[in-house]
Amino acid sequence: MPTAEPIRVEVVYAPAQGAAFGAMLTLPADARVAEAVRASGLVLAHPETACLAGRVGIHARLVALDAPLADGDRVEVYRPLVQDPREARRRRARR
């Protein structure tokens, strides 16, 4: 049985301060989200992301770390919100 072609994925992260992180990777066809994040070197570049495990998405949809990847996927690592969006809307409405 022939082996599947490798896939290309992008891993991105936007810190609150500083430059955004982005890495294009070529991974085996059966790669998972956790493998992409690990292979990207994100934790070395931004150590604060080590505690964000599980806060990842593919094309803006929250997924588990064991979710399979497809060619062309964009893996996004999310940081916590500074404030609740509903509360921010209420404050703006009161002004």
Look at residue 64 and tell me if it is in a domain: yes
pLDDT at 2 over 60: no
Domain that holds residue 89: 7-94
Is 25 part of a structural domain of the chain? yes
In this prediction, residue 1 has a pLDDT band, given cuts at 50, 70 and 90, of very low
| Residue 5, φ and ψ in degrees, nearest 5 | -65, 145
CATH of the domain at 39: 3.10.20.30
Domain contains 43: yes
Tell me how many domains the chain contains.
1
Order the strands of the 74-77 sheet from edge to edge.
Answer: 21-27, 7-13, 74-77, 56-58, 61-63
> Which pLDDT tens digit goes with each residue over 54-82?
789 999 999 999 999 999 999 999 987 77
Band (3; pLDDT cuts 50, 70, 90): low
Domain contains 1: no
Q: What is the pTM of this model?
A: 0.80
Nearest 10 degrees: CA dihedral of 14, 18, 36, 71? 60
